[in-house]
Chains A and B, each alone.
Chain A
Amino acid sequence: MIEISSYHIQVLAFMGINIILAVSLNLINGFTGQFSLGHAGFMAIGAYTAAILTKACGWPFLLATLAGALLAFAFGLLLGIPILRLKGDYLAIATFGLSEIVRVAIVNFDDVTMKAATLVGLQDLVPKEITRGALGYPAIPEVKSLVWIYGWAFVTCLILRNIVRSSEGRAISSIGEDELAAESLGINTARYKTLSFAIGAFFAGVAGALFAHWVTYIKADLFKIDKSIEILLMVVLGGMGSLSGSVLGAVVLTLLPEYLRVFAQWRMVIYPILLILLMLTRPEGLLGRRELSTILGVLYTRAMGRGGPAPGNPPVAAE
């Protein structure tokens, strides 16, 4: 008997945004096996671009979202080429650096453009306040609609599912399994790595735009490494390389802190304890590399009494 209040809608909205972020990061970290810590940076690009376009330029929400996402995509593509030559820890550090650059660029954007414009004598043509630096960007037009958020979440999941199942997706997955082996099979690893990085960035940009228009106030500090790690947590918890796992991870990690509200200041003590317990019991994530549909299929077959698990699928953990 739960009455749907605007509190529930609020939580549902963040859940939807987190789903988009987690699923898109999973393409990079899970399927392609490229450990990125820079997802919040792309989210920031999408959020700021879309917010500036709707507020200062009066663009419609959908176009602004697309513009923000495309800019994030372009950044992903451009910066992915040099950055993705790195591997493992080095890649993680470089992607972290990338998101820091985005954040610092947003904070100093106005000063730099103003000074550059003054140098060439165009100071009257350039607006004084574009990103408003550290003061944050307030009063963004409100778009509080779950239809937009879940519409985008659906589109994200659908597109990523299709990518993963396509021949390109198989190539991407093979890089995640063993990059050297993939290369020896003639797969252009650099191309697919960059592509998956940029596609992930695109949807992070979408999520950023949705977030900005829901909360109506953004600040560069919101897109720090903490945010990237929060998204990474959802991916790892759900299972690297499982799209439905990421959805589940996003749902669980959005709801958990809300359920823990009754503990007041102990909330952030209990939350990590639960995370540790989860990772101890299921180090491969909630769903591992499997999809929910596979697991349900196995359970269904078992319940029907048609013998053991399907070939190729290890038995579902039966605690």
Chain B
Amino acid sequence: MRMKSIVAAAAAVLLGALVCAAPLRAEGETIKLGAVLPLTGGIAAFGMESKDGINLAVDEINAKGGVLGKKLEVLFEDDKGDPADTTNAVSKLINTDKVLAILGSVASSCTLAGAPVANSAKIPMITHNSTNDKVTGVGEYVFRTCFIDSFQGATSAYVAAKIIKAKTAALVTDVNSDYSKGLGEAFTAKFKELGGTITGEVSYQQNDVNFSSQLTKLKGTPADVIFIPGYYTEVALILKQAKQLKIGSVFLGADGWDDPKLLELAADAADGTYIVTHYSADQKTPEVEKLVKAYQDKYKRGPAVTDALAYDMVYVVADAMKRAGKADSQALRDALAATKDLKGATGSVTMNKDRNADKNAIVLKVEGGKMKFVESVKP
């Protein structure tokens, strides 16, 4: 009986906390934006980085007096990286919190599920991290401030052919990942167009740990470049095992590689590899330097790629709000579509007619355990 009463008391306390936790908000004095991010679940790291980036940008803007004479306020909602949950979160922000626009989400599958809700409510939804080509195809109200998978894949092919000067290439793709597949297809098409030959393609699955059979197969038909569109956990293992097998090709990857953990996990096996991504912390532009300093001051760490993308997204939205001249979703949509040459840490953003950001990709090379800036390209 005692156990039961303890449990009942604990449940009562939790329920009480539930009721009291609803924060009191001042109405009308702020411009409300909603952010749907994976704050829990398997990709929560990206959600938390996005949250930091958004908070920093909002604080900076508010410190300078906000937008249109009002302070910005961002309401965060968790989607666990689950598409069904994204639709709920987007719907809640629009209907219950009456937000002006939605920021997010991170995973393309989540944004693809949430965007139709925002689009049919005529509320702009802006994502900073969902690179799947189909995302902005959902409708007129869906925008993206990063580049897309097919651009990323094509740029990787350009880097392989022009910077690494490869004639032959092989691919290692994750069959179950939309990201990997999209990049692989775009790479193959562009590399052939640039006169190269694809000598082989092998595949793996997320959470695989042994890649020796695939790599041995690739060793049989040596290629100048091996392109691995995947995420750093598997990529690090692939690079290590390739080094053990003494595969001499240059390895090339995309934004899925861009995480300090890659260098930690792969150690010296990552040396000499190239990465095509959104942003580099040692690119010498005033925007990047300002962001890196602000991050050190506020969070005591350097901004990762998702931090930078989220930070830039807030400025894109704030800029559109200023040009719209009023806090109105329709006016904001039109202003977002007209975004032109807005400079940020991840490059300058111009919205194209498909509501995707036209911007440069950054090429990095790993040397001595560091990702070094090579150049900014747009093939």
Chain A residues near B (Cβ < 8 Å): 5-8, 10-11, 14, 104, 107-108, 133-136, 138-139, 142, 211, 215-217, 219-222, 257-265, 267-268, 270, 273-274, 277, 280-281, 319
Contact = CB atoms under 8 A, between A and B. Distances in A.
Contacts of B121: 6
A7 B92 contact: yes
Interface in B157-179: 174-178
Interface string B1-37: 0011001101100100010011100000000000000
A134 to B, nearest CB: 5
B213 interface: no
Contacts of B209: none
Contact of B7 (A5, A216, A270, A281): A281
Contacts of B109: 136, 217, 219, 221-222
A133 B184 CA distance: 14
B112 A138 contact: yes
Given A135-B181, A215-B83, A219-B109, A7 B116 contact: no
Q: How large is the interface on B (under 10, 10 to 19, 20 to 34, 35 or more residues)?
A: 35 or more
Contact of A216 (B8, B14, B116, B182): B116
Contacts, number: 117
A217 B7 CA distance: 41
Contacts of A134: 174-178, 180-181
Interface string B89-112: 101101110000000000001001
B95 A277 contact: no
Given A6-B94, A268-B41, 9 more contacts: A5-B91, A6-B117, A8-B95, A11-B88, A138-B134, A258-B92, A259-B18, A265-B40, A274-B14
22 contacts: A5-B95, A7-B92, A7-B96, A10-B117, A11-B88, A14-B84, A133-B181, A134-B174, A135-B134, A136-B109, A138-B137, A139-B134, A139-B137, A215-B113, A217-B83, A219-B109, A221-B109, A221-B176, A222-B109, A262-B18, A265-B39, A268-B80
A269 B301 CA distance: 26
A263 B39 CA distance: 11
Contacts of A219: 83, 109, 178
Nearest to B22: A262
A136 B108 CA distance: 10
A131 to B, nearest CB: 12
B10 A277 contact: yes
Contact of A220 (B84, B176, B182): B176
B78 interface: yes
Contacts of B4: 281, 319
Interface in B269-298: none
Contacts of B22: 262
Contacts of A280: 3, 7
Nearest to B121: A6
Contacts of B116: 142, 216-217
A277 B3 CA distance: 11
B40 A6 contact: no
Most chain A CB inside 10 Å of its own CB: which residue of B18, B84, B177: B84
B68 interface: no
A261 B181 contact: no
Contacts of B89: 261
